[in-house]
Structure 1
Amino acid sequence: SSLRVNVVKSTGETELCFPQLFNTSCKKHTRPHMETMLMYIVLSSVSLLTVSLNLLVIISISHFRQLHTPTNLLLLSLAVADFLIGLFVIPIQILLTEPCWFLGDLVCVLFYFLPCFTLLASILNMVLISVDRYVAICDPLRYPITITQKRVQIFVLLCWIYAVFYSFMILYDNLKQPGRYNSCYGECVVNINGAVDMVLFFILPITAIIILYMRVFVVAVSQARAMRSHIAAVTLQRSVTVTAKKSELKAARTLGVLVAVFLMCYCPFYCVTLSGYDIMIGSSSTVFVLFLDYFNSCLNPVIYAFFYPWFKKSVKLIVTLEILQPNSCEANVL
């Protein structure tokens, strides 16, 4: 089983990508001008928005010392992956919607390497976030000992190394002999083992995320009920504990929304690959399915803005340039 990814060729048009190579040139695929313009405008706008919003997240968490927590470090890693998707992957997608490929076989493979490792890094960061919330909610007493800043840094580094290594291995045949799967000149074809990709890239990470969050929500609901039933009988000291638990539950709910949106954006692409259909990069339907994948990177900071007060405060300080003031990193944004 293999996943064949290529720039689609039209069989109904006589115009060739390379007229001088009449027998071996691909036929040029054409689409209506309005459809092409709409596609470029939408993808360019999402790219700009994704870069801008995730840059705000990166600056916020990196600059303000109060936000240097293990959970926020995972959010920072996710924002970096989303930032790269907006900066490089979506513009690459715009290039791949062109009717013919003129940049050569090696560049073609490299163009698929970057989306592969950035999207995998996003998925792996989601898994790490789920583990973080699982320990915070289900084993809160051991959380400060188990989830330390140093351990999170190590796991984030391993996450990125694995994403690069996996992407290299799954594209190894294509890198060893670029263009080996092209049927004509002007085509950009990458062949991937679909079964391996489906299991390692999607099924295992998503299964882990769902199982962890099911457990988190069961525990969160029971804790919420316990707090409501005993809220009138708590002491001042206990009320502080209750407030802390509420904060953890809110964080779990926020990250649960994050994961739910992630699943809704990524599932259509893998439903198509499960059907065994050849993914033709360039066709309007496939551009839409891939657009959902990339749009998730734009939605994550929007979710932060709605659910995290610290993000709103940080953005205000960044936009008003107050972060340029001395000791601004010590500002209270919580």
Structure 2
Amino acid sequence: MNGSFVFIAFTGSPVSYVDLAGVPILIGFGIAEFVLNMIVLSAMTLDVLDQDVSNYFIINLALADGLIGVVVVYNGLYTLLEWKDIHECLLRFGIVNGFNVASVLNIALLTIDKFIKIKYPFKYYHYITPNRAKVTTLIVWLFALTISVLPAAGWSNIGEEWSHCAFFDVMSRSYLITSILIYCVPFIVIVTLYPQMCSLARRHALAIQSQTRLYIHRKGTWRFVKPVGLIVGIYVICWLPVGTYLILVLADRKTVELSGVDMGTILAFSAGIGSLNSLFNPIIYAAKIPAVSRQFKRVCCCCCWRVPFIQSNAYSSMHVSTASIQTGISRHSSEQLDQC
């Protein structure tokens, strides 16, 4: 807080001009993250869930990102109200950490899934089965929820004179170090496997192109790599600032405090950049997955709710269709979309 404020909340906390200007933007981003990821969730669940095991990981990633949007909205409201309750404080920080752990673990699972699909295409459905995907994602969520409740369960730095919910004051140093190590494991998996995926995809594309002399096959080979690459790249860009700042504070907090800048302000700003990752992921899905793109069109245009559904799977190598029927339905769908 700076010296000036607009009003005093009913809890007795002053609300500054910066808070009043930034909170609506924060809440707007949170609502957008939740809505967009729910569209992805509904599209993947209703349309293409049974066609590709990879969709289980995409669904869980969309669920984690949507829940992060809910937390962003809640944090925006907290900034204005700041109800002083120690259990709420610890649980809120724990849930933020837990949902982000679920997000990065699902990104790692999606990366592993695509790596196996490229390196072992004929054994993929032997290694990755729907039951194994369900069990793995369930373990991820149980682990994330455990991480969420640990601070409220006692793994914190609460003293008898607690009066303000400040992240670096209430969170235990050992808990923060453990959380960073947890994030490092999937991050190492991601940055290790993705370059190998690119190398394998390039070799496959060159081999197929040399045999068939058709560029379309090369483009099809890269379709497994590009969406994951965008998701991984955006995740690293968004969360690198807050990750770096946390490491600096844990390494030498006194030096950071001597800089004169409020630690909570820097953390809030860097964490806000990180939360934008949950906004970019559904946009990537809309651009790369036809079912998600169609669902976005249905939501954006009310008259498109009755558009005939065209079964399509961009990730399946086997596609059975009747060309004349698809052409007619596609033309009819395009005409309805143009009328919207």
TM-score (norm 2): 0.76
Pair 1:256 & 2:229 matched: yes
- Distance in 1 separating the partners of 2:49 and 2:147: 35
- Distance in 2 separating the partners of 1:247 and 1:261: 23
Give the letter aligned to residue 164 of structure 1.
L
Larger RCO of the pair (alpha carbons < 8 Å, separation 6+):
1
- Distance in 2 separating the partners of 1:291 and 1:303: 20
Note the 1:91-106 alignment, pairs <5 A: 91-98=73-80, 101-106=82-87
- Distance in 1 separating the partners of 2:139 and 2:67: 18
Note the 1:292-311 alignment, pairs <5 A: 292-311=273-292
Contact 1:81 1:121 in 2 (8 A): yes
Moved more, 42-51 or 284-293: 284-293
SS of aligned partner of 2:223: helix
- Distance in 2 separating the partners of 1:293 and 1:72: 24
Deviation of 1:286 (Å):
2.4
Task: Go from structure 1 to structure 2 and tell me whether the alpha carbon gap of 1:229 and 1:163 turns closer, same or farther (over 3 Å shift).
Answer: same
1:138 to 115, 119, 122: 119
Note the 1:1-334 alignment, pairs <5 A: 31=16, 33=17, 35-65=18-48, 68-87=51-70, 89-98=71-80, 101-169=82-150, 172-174=153-155, 180-181=158-159, 183-188=161-166, 189-192=169-172, 193=174, 194-200=176-182, 202-232=183-213, 243=217, 246-276=219-249, 277=253, 283-318=264-299, 319-320=301-302, 331-334=310-313
SS of aligned partner of 1:140: coil
Deviation of 1:30 (Å):
5.9
SS of aligned partner of 1:141: coil
Contact 2:118 2:224 in 1 (8 A): no
Deviation of 1:96 (Å):
4.4
- Distance in 2 separating the partners of 1:119 and 1:66: 24
Q: Which residue is equivalent to 1:23?
A: none
Task: Go from structure 1 to structure 2 and tell me whether the alpha carbon gap of 1:281 and 1:317 turns closer, same or farther (over 3 Å shift).
Answer: farther
TM-score (norm 1): 0.78
Task: Go from structure 1 to structure 2 and tell me whether the alpha carbon gap of 1:101 and 1:316 turns closer, same or farther (over 3 Å shift).
Answer: closer
Contact 1:62 1:68 in 2 (8 A): no
Task: Go from structure 1 to structure 2 and tell me whether the alpha carbon gap of 1:263 and 1:53 turns closer, same or farther (over 3 Å shift).
Answer: same
Task: Go from structure 1 to structure 2 and tell me whether the alpha carbon gap of 1:154 and 1:322 turns closer, same or farther (over 3 Å shift).
Answer: farther
Task: Go from structure 1 to structure 2 and tell me whether the alpha carbon gap of 1:282 and 1:107 turns closer, same or farther (over 3 Å shift).
Answer: farther
- Distance in 1 separating the partners of 2:26 and 2:127: 41
- Distance in 1 separating the partners of 2:25 and 2:82: 21
- Distance in 2 separating the partners of 1:218 and 1:133: 13
- Distance in 2 separating the partners of 1:209 and 1:181: 39
Task: Go from structure 1 to structure 2 and tell me whether the alpha carbon gap of 1:315 and 1:306 turns closer, same or farther (over 3 Å shift).
Answer: same
Count the aligned residue pairs.
Answer: 300
Deviation of 1:309 (Å):
2.8
Give the letter aligned to residue 143 of structure 2.
Y
Task: Go from structure 1 to structure 2 and tell me whether the alpha carbon gap of 1:182 and 1:251 turns closer, same or farther (over 3 Å shift).
Answer: farther
- Distance in 2 separating the partners of 1:282 and 1:275: 11
Deviations for 1:129-172, whole angstroms, at most 9, x for unmatched residues?
01101101111111121111111111111110111123333553
Deviations for 1:223-257, whole angstroms, at most 9, x for unmatched residues?
1222222223x8xxxx9xx84x7545213211111
Deviation of 1:68 (Å):
4.2
Deviation of 1:315 (Å):
2.6
